[in-house]
Amino acid sequence: MARSAIINVMVQAAFKAGRSLARDFGEVQNLQVSLKGPGDYVSQADRRAEEIVHAELSKARPGYAFLMEERGVIEGDDDQHRWLVDPLDGTTNFLHGIPLFAVSIALERQGQLAAAVVFNPAMDELYTAERGGGAFMNDRRLRVASRSKLADTVIGTGIPHLGRGHHGNALIELRNVMGEVSGVRRMGAAALDLAYVAAGRLDGFWEHGLSPWDMGAGALLIREAGGFVTDYDGGADFLDTGSIVAGNEAIHRALLKQLKKPLTKA
């Protein structure tokens, strides 16, 4: 599959950072048995990957701004373009030797998501999308799942935990959704969760408390795979609100309905 110049730039950055993470992942698995543990090593791996992505993208597109998980905002001379970068989405998975983590890179152009790359080096899965050009996994065209009834679906979510804030309605939402679906999955890496929706592996997804770098690439993947992505009010402000709901048209609509229901008695 022929890729555009901008996607090639993003893929190169993701691959280079991914190779670094893959090497570190092997070391982290060895550190699981040490007294010190892998925590410090993982934070170094995260920073190394971010440095690689920043260097690669800056070299290829000097002047573009950045919003990065570790470094935060980096202003650029070009006010029309901004990179959203999570160099290691799924840090806790990485820390525990679980191969569900990814490099996530999105490009905003004039405030609109324009291009996306999500790369899981542990599974060698590369997800790419460009606005108006479709979504792909390892060059295979992606489409969201076609299931239309919640009872047939598997839905992904995130769960509040230590150090990640608390969303007071999480248990209510979980109870209302899990009573209507075939299964609920908590994978631990939002960028991959959203990529899985684009690939039809998950039928839908919802989560609160996310950052733009968690959602940007995955959201464009879903849209380019024929799906719907909104905030909890059905609007387009999920990058600002940090709350996201995704799926095909029918499942997205049904999820929004379930998430707004009050807690019902068993």
78 annotated to a ligand binding site:
no
263 annotated to a ligand binding site:
no
- Cα–Cα distance, 45 to 152 (Å, whole number): 39
Instruction: List, in sequence order, every beta strand (DSSP E) within the chain.
Output: 64-68, 72-74, 78-89, 102-109, 112-120, 125-130, 135-137, 140-141, 154-157, 183-185, 204-207, 228-230, 244-247
Strand-pairing partners, residue 128, are 117, 136
SS (H, E, C) 83-121: EEEEEEECHHHHHCCCCCCEEEEEEEECCEEEEEEEEEC
Phi, psi (degrees; rounded to nearest 5) at 74: -125, 110
How far, rounded to the nearest angstrom, does the alpha carbon of residue 112 sit from its chain's CA centroid? 17
**151 DSSP assignment:** G
Length of the chain: 266
88 annotated to a ligand binding site:
yes
Percent of residues in the chain assigned helix, strand, coil, to nearest 5: 40, 25, 35
Tell me the CA distances in angstroms from 76 to 54, 70, 220, one per residue in order.
Answer: 12, 17, 23
| Residue whose pair of structure tokens reads 């892998």 in the numeric block | 38
89 annotated to a ligand binding site:
yes
255 annotated to a ligand binding site:
no
Annotated binding site: 69, 86, 88-89, 214
Annotated binding site for Mg(2+): 69, 86, 88-89, 214
